[in-house]
């Protein structure tokens, strides 16, 4: 990471990743969204048209892998790998072969680990120049979610990396069951907002604009993106992450926020993160942060998934008087203490030689 240059954040199309375990209602949510006129400027990349059931929504077929729906939403199937699909879709947008779209939604398969998709968006230079990650949305089965998280790690990881969690099948569960599932999801991912839905009904505007940039103001919203206060609240509740129940996959998840009051050298942060990735890369489910570095007066946003980091983005200005560096982390089988000790060591060493 020491070789990486800090880039100015530019205008790129926001991408939302819609994930969720088998049977959690992800396709039902997507089908409902595609009927909404508010999706008119959205392109959706899916695995197969048939899985979503588009017959009653089809207006015209641009070709065999792109359709335009009566909502105005553009629907595209994945052909080849995701990189080729997204590159071709953007090219056809520029050439006018498909209607112009302002955002994109990628639906994963039920067993998918969302991390490789996030890696793709972060590492392919052409995609990174045209698209930015807005957020990860994960559906959680309201009826079977608790038992699925006990027996499978996939739904736990999907919940851990999400920015928004949709608890589905609200009409089929009691208030007590919904509360138990919500509490468990908060212990896995304190900062993710949680919404309950029935029959897949959810408003598009509640799912988008989850990234660093507020679509309403076209400016960074650090507090909304990081939500570091949620991690402090979670740490104040004893027992969420300390009972080590062997029957709970999510007991292996840790969520915490590291802070530094004094400005740090960029190289010190980069060296720390490089060392952390080399030892614990697979354990870093998601990392987000705002840094106060000595190399610039502007705040620097960083975002990583496991061993892959997006190029850091220099923001125009600090949003408020809080100039602390704040790094929120969701990890698997990795406690806060060794991570923080390494962080302090690198930051203090960097300050000592500055």
**Which tops the pLDDT comparison, 142 or 352?**
142
CATH code at 12-214: 3.40.50.300
Look at residue 309 and tell me whether its pLDDT is greater than 60.
yes
Three-state SS at 1: coil
Inter-CA distances, 141 with 76, 248, 342, Å = 26, 17, 38
Residues 93-126 pLDDT 10s? 999 999 999 999 999 875 668 888 888 888 888 8
Q: In the chain, where does the domain assigned CATH 3.40.50.300 lie?
A: 12-214
Look at residue 353 and tell me whether its pLDDT is greater than 60.
no
- The pLDDT mean for the chain works out to 86
Over range 58-86, report the average pLDDT.
Answer: 83
Please return the burial class of 198, using the count of CB atoms within 10 Å of its CB with bins 0-12, 13-18 and 19+.
middle
Q: What is the dihedral of CA 330, 282, 291, 3, to 10 degrees?
A: -170
Cα(65)–Cα(79) distance, rounded to whole angstroms?
Answer: 8
Cα(277)–Cα(342) distance, rounded to whole angstroms?
Answer: 12
Cα(346)–Cα(58) distance, rounded to whole angstroms?
Answer: 56
Please return the burial class of 132, using the count of CB atoms within 10 Å of its CB with bins 0-12, 13-18 and 19+.
buried
The phi and psi torsions of 271 (rounded to 5 degrees) equal: -65, -40
The model carries a pTM of 0.88
Residues 264-280 pLDDT 10s? 999 999 999 999 999 99
Give the pLDDT score at 19.
94
Q: In the chain, where does the domain assigned CATH 3.30.1220.10 lie?
A: 228-352
- CB distance 46 to 76 below 8 Å: yes
Over range 229-257, report the average pLDDT.
Answer: 68
Buried b (16+ CB within 10 A) or exposed e, 30-62: bbbbbebeebbebbbbbeebeebeeeebeeeee
Inter-CA distances, 282 with 143, 308, 329, 332, Å = 30, 10, 13, 8
Cα(47)–Cα(56) distance, rounded to whole angstroms?
Answer: 19
Look at residue 235 and tell me whether its pLDDT is greater than 70.
no
**Which tops the pLDDT comparison, 72 or 220?**
72
Residue 320: pLDDT band with limits 50, 70, 90 = confident
Over range 63-80, report the average pLDDT.
Answer: 86
Q: What proportion of the chain, given as a percentage, has pLDDT over 90? A: 56
Question: Could you say which architecture CATH assigns to the domain 228-352?
Answer: 2-Layer Sandwich (3.30)
Is residue 96 left, alpha or beta, with left meaning phi > 0 and alpha meaning psi from -120 to 50? Answer: left
Give the pLDDT score at 238.
47
- CB distance 15 to 45 below 8 Å: no
């Amino acid at each position: 990471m020491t070789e990486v240059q800090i880039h100015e954040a530019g205008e790129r199309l926001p991408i939302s990743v819609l994930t969720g375990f088998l049977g959690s209602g992800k396709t039902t949510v997507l089908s409902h969204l595609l009927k909404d006129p508010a999706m008119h400027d959205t392109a959706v990349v899916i695995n197969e048209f048939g899985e979503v059931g588009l017959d009653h929504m089809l207006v015209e077929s641009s070709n065999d892998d792109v359709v335009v729906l009566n909502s105005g939403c553009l629907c595209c199937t994945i052909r080849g790998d995701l990189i080729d699909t997204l590159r071709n879709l953007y090219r056809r947008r520029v050439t006018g072969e498909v209607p112009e779209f302002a955002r994109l939604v990628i639906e994963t398969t039920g067993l998918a680990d969302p991390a490789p998709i996030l890696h793709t968006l972060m590492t392919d230079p052409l995609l990174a120049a045209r698209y930015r990650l807005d957020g990860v949305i994960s559906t959680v089965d309201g009826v079977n979610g608790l038992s699925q998280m006990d027996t499978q790690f996939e739904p736990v990881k999907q919940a851990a990396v999400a920015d928004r969690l949709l608890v589905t099948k609200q009409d089929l569960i009691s208030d007590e069951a919904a509360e138990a599932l919500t509490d468990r999801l908060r212990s896995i991912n304190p900062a993710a907002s949680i919404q309950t839905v029935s029959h897949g009904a959810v408003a598009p505007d509640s799912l988008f604009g989850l990234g660093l940039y507020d679509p309403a103001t076209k400016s960074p919203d650090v507090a909304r993106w990081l939500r570091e206060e949620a991690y402090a609240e979670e740490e104040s509740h004893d027992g969420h992450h300390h009972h080590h129940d062997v029957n709970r996959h999510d007991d292996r998840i840790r969520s915490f926020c590291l802070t530094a009051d004094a400005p740090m050298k960029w190289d010190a942060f980069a060296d720390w993160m490089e060392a952390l990735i080399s030892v614990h890369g697979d354990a870093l489910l998601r990392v987000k942060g705002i840094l106060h570095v000595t190399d610039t007066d502007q705040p620097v946003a960083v975002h990583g998934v496991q061993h892959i980091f997006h190029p850091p983005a220099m923001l125009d200005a600090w949003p408020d008087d809080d100039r602390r560096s704040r790094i929120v982390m969701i990890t698997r089988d990795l406690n806060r203490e060794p991570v923080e000790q390494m962080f302090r060591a690198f930051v203090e060493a960097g300050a000592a030689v500055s």
